[in-house]
Amino acid sequence: MEIIVLGNRGPYPKHDAPCSGYLIKGQEGWIVLDLGSGSLMNLQKVIKIEDVKAVILSHLHSDHISDVLPLRYAVDVKMMKGDMGTVPVYLPEEPEKEFELLPFKNVLELIPVDVEKTYGICGLTVEFKPMVHPYRSYAVKVREGRKTFVYSGDTAVNDGLAEFAKNADLFLCESALLEKEKKDGAMHMTPKEAAAVAKKAQVKKLLLTHFSPDNSPDCYLDEAKDVFEDVECAEMLKQYII
């Protein structure tokens, strides 16, 4: 399984770094995992738009889905040329007002996630687990054979995340807030919290993401290393093989 980082910032892009967006290569093609502001540009540095076989959206906040809107136009143009077909999109159906922004002609097949189901997408096995966030948000688990990749999506710390990420080969976890920025009731994690989840889940490698445009990723890495040794910051356009 191959993971490529398209964007690692939030809640808005930096001048040289888009918001959350990732690619997953399955046996039957490429899956887009979130597509925040600017990430569609980076996607086209790696693959063609017609190579996109499916999209997974962890939740419907704009910094995770905004580039789906121009993606619809690209798919529409390429469908008219006969270069690609309708793209399935797996996503929460709430909040309704955000969900209703996404339909456009017949270019996207919107598939509301059922957490009781296991999905086969591009030759990979995909599961979802509800997280703790102002919008309905899902962690995503992707398996290929004995290899497992888990993405936290956006969430506050919760017991279910460590259980869901248990023994993952690669754990991509949001760490939006440095310790000094954390306030009571915050719906995001710190690097230390992400590292503690990784340690509890006994994952093989932790990859931090969702950095503030105002902070250097090194700040996040420094906090996490105190708790979990095998940790990196998600690097733009870097390929991770698991």
CATH number, position 177: 3.60.15.10
Q: What is the pLDDT of residue 207?
A: 98
What letter represents residue 67's amino acid? D
How distant is the alpha carbon of residue 37 from its chain centre? Answer: 13
Range of the domain at 15: 2-241
Q: Which helix (H) or strand (E) holds 224?
A: helix 217-225
**Residues listed for the chain:** 242
32, 23 contact by CB (below 8 A): yes
Integer Cα distance of 88 and 214 in angstroms: 35
Contact 14, 34 (CB under 8 A): no
pLDDT at residue 203 is higher than 90: yes
Name which of 169, 176, 177 is nearest 206 in CA terms. Answer: 169
pLDDT score of 54: 98
pLDDT tens digits for 107-128? Answer: 999 999 999 999 999 999 999 9
65 sits in which H/E element: helix 62-65
Give 151-219 as a 3 state SS string: ECCCCCCCHHHHHHCCCCCEEEEECCCCHHHCCCCCCCCCHHHHHHHHHHHCCCCEEEECECCCCCHHH
Run of H or E residues at 33 = strand 29-35
80 pLDDT exceeds 90? Answer: yes
CB 182 within 8 A of CB 189: no
Q: How confident is the model at residue 185 (pLDDT cuts 50, 70, 90)?
A: confident
Residue 183 has pLDDT above 90, yes or no: no
Give the up-direction half-sphere exposure of residue 231: CA atoms within 13 A in the CB hemisphere: 28
Neighbours of 48 (CB within 10 A): 13
Distance in angstroms (rounded) separating the CA atoms of residues 219 and 211:
10
Please report the pLDDT score of residue 84 as a whole number: 96
Q: Per the structure, how many domains does the chain have?
A: 1
Which residue has better confidence, 27 or 32?
32
Mean per-residue pLDDT of the chain: 96
> Would you say 60 and 92 are in contact if contact means Cβ atoms under 8 Å apart?
yes
What is the distance between the alpha carbons of residues 154 and 62, in angstroms, rounded to a whole number? 12
